Amino acid sequence: MDLLSGDPVTLLLLLGAAFAGGLVDAIAGGGGLIVLPALLAAGLPPHMALGTNKLAGSFGTLGASLAFLRRGLIKPRHWPRTAILTAAGAAAGTTLVSTLDAALLRALVPPFIVLAGLYVMLRRPPPRIAPAPPPREGPRSPLLGAGLGFYDGLVGPGTGAFWVSALMGLGGLDLVQASGVARAMNFISNVVSLAAFAWFGMVDWAVGLMMAGALLAGAWIGAHSAIRYGAPFIRPVFLVVVVALAGHLAWEQWWAGP
């Protein structure tokens, strides 16, 4: 399916979804909960939507990671084992999902999106704490990397939010620190998963690169907003967008019929 030669309104909606996804992902996590349903609703097959989402998401997580890196909130040398296991988990997850039947995958993706969206929306917003010195890898961090990397490679929506919550709850990081590390690890899993999807021929490069620019812009603005203000102000918008997109996707898949 060639979306670039299709309805201009669809293209504008995809660009808007990419910008919003980058914005909220850099602040609160969960940008894939906006971008992936938008790609599926636009008509991309599920494997292609997952791969294209990784292409756009790689740019967004790169932009957010660089923003935190420039502020000294991420030190890559402090997280070597976590980074390696995150990459390994993402490769394993993407390899597994590439073997699933498209019809089965289309039926399975909406529940993942809805459940991850509910988690992101209902979790209690943590207080904003002034950033401490850059955090270091903890004993549980590599296992988190393997598990969340696998989930990101398999489906992906909500990975950034899961990282933030896990790093705060298990690693003792504050909100800004956790957001910075989450963006870096999410970038690693996105790039590895993208490489695997590309190997299997499951990426729409034209659509993905078009959305990447909008997502990168949203991520840059979102990362700087997160550093300055924290996450709470984005939650109402995030809730509305996720409910609308996930609801449309579920209705189209389960109730609209052929």
The pLDDT of 196-225, averaged and rounded, is: 86
pLDDT in tens, 16-65: 888 888 777 766 666 777 888 888 888 888 899 999 999 988 887 887 78
**Tally of CB atoms within 10 A around 136:** 13
DSSP state of 6: S
Report the candidate in 125, 145, 238, 239 with the shortest Cα–Cα distance to residue 186: 145
How far CA 151 is from CA of 71, 116, 133, 203, 251, in Å, comes to 29, 11, 29, 19, 24
What is the predicted pLDDT for the residue at 146?
Answer: 95
Q: What is the pLDDT of residue 244?
A: 62
The pTM for the full model equals 0.80
